Amino acid sequence: MITRSETKTTLAHLLTEIEHRNPAQPEFHQAVHEVLETLAPVVAARPEYADPGLIERLCEPERQVIFRVPWQDDQGRVRVNRGFRVEFNSALGPYKGGLRFHPSVNLGVIKFLGFEQVFKNALTDLGIGGGKGGSDFDPHGRSDAEVMRFCQSFMTELYRHIGEHTDVPAGDIGVGGREIGYLFGQYRRITNRWEAGVLTGKGQGWGGSLIRPEATGYGNVLFAAAMLRERGEDLEGRTAVVSGSGNVAIYTIEKLAALGANAVTCSDSSGYVVDEKGIDLDLLKQVKEVERGRVDTYAERRGASARFVPGGRVWEVPADIALPSATQNELDENDAVALIRNGVKAVSEGANMPTTPAAVHLFQQAGVAFGPGKAANAGGVAVSALEMAQNHARTSWTAARVEEELTHIMNNIHTTCHETAERYGAPDDYVTGANIAGFERVADAMLAQGVI
């Protein structure tokens, strides 16, 4: 019988090996460490997970593709970016995960996102594996024609690696409906196939699903509500701070309002807005989705109730609920101290790994309900899988049906994480519950399929 102590030592050695094999990839190291440090109880209880190099295989992508993306700007100058697709694990189904277009994208970032996606997708129980992709291209400030030319060049290489039964990309930071449209058009042109299920996040008139744009934000709020409900509380009348002002943040704010909570902040790279009356969703959508402007424009138009804080930290604002919805490692130890001091009751991650490990530890020590991204923000990929199901059947569902399915999935994820944490002696620890539950589902499939 292997003890937990021996298992922890083995996992620590494995983490060291992974760091040596993947140098200069801090985000990937962080994601792997966060999972491995929680697996000792399950590996000790089920030693078959340690025997066939299973964890080593789980931490090594099945395929990593890096390619050149040349494109021409509106001045006729040829630009060159780098494209990535990391197909991490397909034991449960075709690779599934978004594409991120942002200057910060590199191989380590894509590997961290792909690794997280494996567990997140497993928790949905919808038969999808994990992958991620993107480019260091920045669509901000580019014309529609430039974005189109970039997307066409990107897909000219990517198309040979994807397919509805192989790998199904979607959107992420910098990749919305416009980009998905250009990518799908080029895929269709190259392959001469109307393969609707090859991309998700499509327009609703040509194969997209209702509630897909809203799904990540809605799902995160549903998970936060489930955590509070477990404690005999609810969202009604609560004040919430939300970071970001993109798709996830906007629909997080919308769902909070629907459940009786009041979101008072939004942010972007220039700073944050605090609005005492609560964020005016219609104005925010106009500024960010239509005009592609900055949040200071929101504050200017909103009037006396709103003020813009340049370069500030949204976590300075007192609130009952915090929902980080922008990007990785945006909420650090100092932010956690401020939130705890101001009485925060729950933190639920709308972005991928937005909270640093030190901050997570502080929240858990303080008894704050903490929902990790691989559980709390799984709503987006869940509805993507529902979009795939609609595409396969060549049908479309009503918004009410999709939202009902989303609510059911998020509540099931919460129950799974909560019960798994209790089963392994870590009650109310959603990080441990999510990691072990996702791991068990993927590991069992890998064991059944042999050493591949």
**What DSSP string runs through 35-100?**
HHTT-HHHHHH-GGGTTTSHHHHHTS-SEEEEEEEEEE-TTS-EEEEEEEEEEEE-SSSSEEEEEE
| C-beta separation of 20 from 60 below 8 A | no
d(CA 61, CA 348): 28
Query: Which H or E run contains 373?
Result: helix 373-376
Find tokens 């309900």 and name the residue.
Answer: 369
Taking residues 218-228, what's their average pLDDT? 98
Instruction: Give me the pLDDT at residue 3, please.
Output: 78
Digit-coded pLDDT (tens) for 317-346: 999 999 999 999 999 999 999 999 999 999
Residue owning tokens 């690779």: 95
Whether 132 is catalytic: yes
114 touches 97 (CB < 8 A): yes
263-296 per-position pLDDT tens digit: 999 999 999 999 999 999 999 999 998 998 999 9
Model pLDDT for residues 372-420, shown as the tens digit of each residue: 999 999 999 999 999 999 999 999 999 999 999 999 999 999 999 999 9
What is the H or E stretch that residue 240 is in? strand 239-242
Domains 63-195 and 215-376 share a fold: yes
pTM of the full structure: 0.96
- Predicted confidence at residue 1, as pLDDT, reads 58
Angle CA(154)–CA(156)–CA(157) in degrees, nearest 5? 75
DSSP-assigned states of every residue in 140-201 = TT--HHHHHHHHHHHHHHHGGG-BTTTEEEE-BTTB-HHHHHHHHHHHHHHH----GGGSSS
Looking at residue 133, its amino acid is: G
Cβ burial of 106 (10 Å; 0-12, 13-18, 19+) is middle
Report the mean per-residue pLDDT for the chain: 97
What is the fold, at CATH topology level, of the domain defined by 63-195?
A: Rossmann fold (3.40.50)
Residue 338 amino acid letter:
A
Reported as type and span, the H/E element at residue 130 is strand 129-135
Q: What is the mean pLDDT of residues 434-441?
A: 98
Q: What is the pLDDT of residue 5?
A: 84
User: Any idea what the Cα angle at residue 384 is, between residues 199 and 141, rounded to 5°?
Assistant: 60
Q: Which of 120, 132, 202, 345 is catalytic?
A: 132
CATH of domain 215-376: 3.40.50.720
Residue 224's closest CA among 214, 215, 234? Answer: 234
Q: What would the mean pLDDT of 89-109 be, rounded to a whole number?
A: 98
**CA-to-CA separations, 96 to 102, 319, 383, in angstroms, rounded:** 19, 34, 12
Summarize pLDDT for 67-96 with one digit per residue, the tens. 999 999 999 999 999 999 999 999 999 999
Give the span between the Cα atoms of 154 and 185, in whole angstroms.
Answer: 12
Residue ranges of domains in the chain: 4-59, 63-195, 215-376
